[in-house]
Amino acid sequence: MLTDKLYHQKYDTEIDLAYGYLDEHDMDLFLIEEMFVNQDFLDIFAKKSGIHRPYQISSIYHNWSDTNGETDITVILDTYDKKHALLIENKINAPAQPQQFNRYIIRGDSRKNLGYYQSYSIILVAPDRYTATNAEAKLYPIKVSYTELIDFLIAQNNDRARFRAGMILATITDKENSLYIVEKDENVTEFWRKLYSFSKQEYPDLEIKITKGDRGKYARWVEFYTSLKKVGITIKSNRGVVDMFFPGYGERIGTLKQIIGQYLTNEMELTATGKSASVRLQVSGFDFHGGFEYHIPQVREAYEAVRELKKLATCLDYVSLYPIRHIDLQNTQEADELI
């Protein structure tokens, strides 16, 4: 999690702000909201498409899909003599799908023929590094860089815009610093596809986290939600363990044990996992590079461990784990101590 200092004009001070994990879906919603409420922001996309005021938004679609794939964001503008669609592909570091740009053309033509609009433009929104190194990105005739959007927001000189600019920066910096741009592994991707289907059919109550798109060869940890907001569960298939993690307790295992110790079984181990502490159960590992069908017994064993940990989560008091505190924004030392 990246923590940055952000100047708050109203309080005339810098505060520490940790945005947490943000992904392309979060950026989709940010772009949609900003275009909806701020026509100057929308102008960045419209002007590059040859559309100038006066115009107004007619429709907005998020993740509009058909048999030819999915358009991340569609904004239909009414220019009073025609309707023009902005078809926006939003990328941070996910790999381009095969023939992705060509399928945008197919979808654009299809919906034009159906009468949704009379013209359209295809726009790629991405970090500079992505557009400079990705071959598919070079096919898009119109590009909007996240750096351009950050500069626009900073120039607005208000707290909301600075917050938004910081959110973009945290997202693209986190992804670029990870140096992990997915290279699709066919076997692993197929394993995940079958795992999601298996989870939906036989273990829907476990609430698996779903990641869309291709998976790389190192994608072998399976994550689940719990009833506790900050607390999650991860199957670490390559290590043969299932962890329920508690952020902020990595150096306070004794405190965590005082809070939850009475609910732990003999099989549950309390261990530090980075900045978090985890309740761990040992299970048989499984190999995402092998066929899913050969690993169903091991998957079931791990899923039963997940169920046991989710049951534990229902016994815990969230406020005891993460007390509600009044935060003095003038006191940056107190902000540093926040979990």
Q: What is the pLDDT of residue 326?
A: 40
Split into its structural domains, the chain has a count of 2
**Predicted confidence band at 135 (pLDDT cuts at 50, 70, 90)?**
confident
Same domain, 10 and 39: yes
- Residue 303: half-sphere exposure toward Cβ, Cα within 13 Å: 18
pLDDT in tens, 73-131: 999 999 989 999 999 999 987 766 668 899 999 999 999 999 999 999 999 999 888 88
- Rounded Cα distance, 49 and 107, in Å: 18
Sign of CA dihedral 272, 277, 281, 286: negative
| Residues listed for the chain | 339
Q: How far is CA 187 from CA 219, 220, 329, in A?
A: 11, 12, 50
Same domain, 103 and 201: no
With pLDDT > 90 as the criterion, what percentage of the chain qualifies? 54
Residue 59 is assigned to a structural domain of this protein:
yes
**Domain at 216, CATH number:** 3.90.1150
Same domain, 104 and 200: no
Q: How far is CA 163 from CA 43, 98, 154, in A?
A: 20, 35, 9
pLDDT in tens, 300-318: 999 999 999 999 999 998 8
Q: Report the predicted TM-score, pTM, of the whole model to 2 decimal places.
A: 0.53
pLDDT in tens, 242-273: 999 998 898 899 999 999 999 999 999 999 88
Same domain, 208 and 291: yes
Name residue 274's amino acid. G
Residue 62 is assigned to a structural domain of this protein:
yes
The strand pair at 119-126 and 142-145 is best described as parallel
Same domain, 160 and 29: yes
Same domain, 166 and 52: yes
Residue 329 is assigned to a structural domain of this protein:
no
pLDDT in tens, 98-111: 688 999 999 999 99
Residue 290 is assigned to a structural domain of this protein:
yes
**Predicted confidence band at 133 (pLDDT cuts at 50, 70, 90)?**
confident
**Predicted confidence band at 293 (pLDDT cuts at 50, 70, 90)?**
very high
DSSP 94: P
**Whether the Cβ atoms of residue 216 and residue 283 lie closer than 8 Å to each other:** no
pLDDT in tens, 31-66: 999 999 999 999 999 999 999 999 999 999 998 988
Name residue 87's amino acid. L
pLDDT in tens, 214-243: 887 778 889 999 888 789 999 999 889 999
Same domain, 19 and 140: yes
Residue 331 is assigned to a structural domain of this protein:
no
Same domain, 168 and 36: yes
The strand pair at 269-273 and 232-236 is best described as unpaired
- Rounded Cα distance, 291 and 150, in Å: 44
Same domain, 52 and 193: no
Residue 203 is assigned to a structural domain of this protein:
yes
Same domain, 100 and 69: yes
**Whether the Cβ atoms of residue 48 and residue 90 lie closer than 8 Å to each other:** no
Q: How many helices (H) and strands (E) does the chain have?
A: 11, 12
Q: What is the pLDDT of residue 20?
A: 67
Same domain, 159 and 200: no
Instruction: Check residue 262 and give left, alpha or beta (phi > 0: left; psi -120 to 50: alpha).
Output: alpha
Domain that holds residue 219: 186-321
- Rounded Cα distance, 71 and 285, in Å: 37
Sign of CA dihedral 226, 232, 237, 239: negative
DSSP bridge pairs for 165 = none
Q: What is the pLDDT of residue 105?
A: 97
**Predicted confidence band at 180 (pLDDT cuts at 50, 70, 90)?**
very low
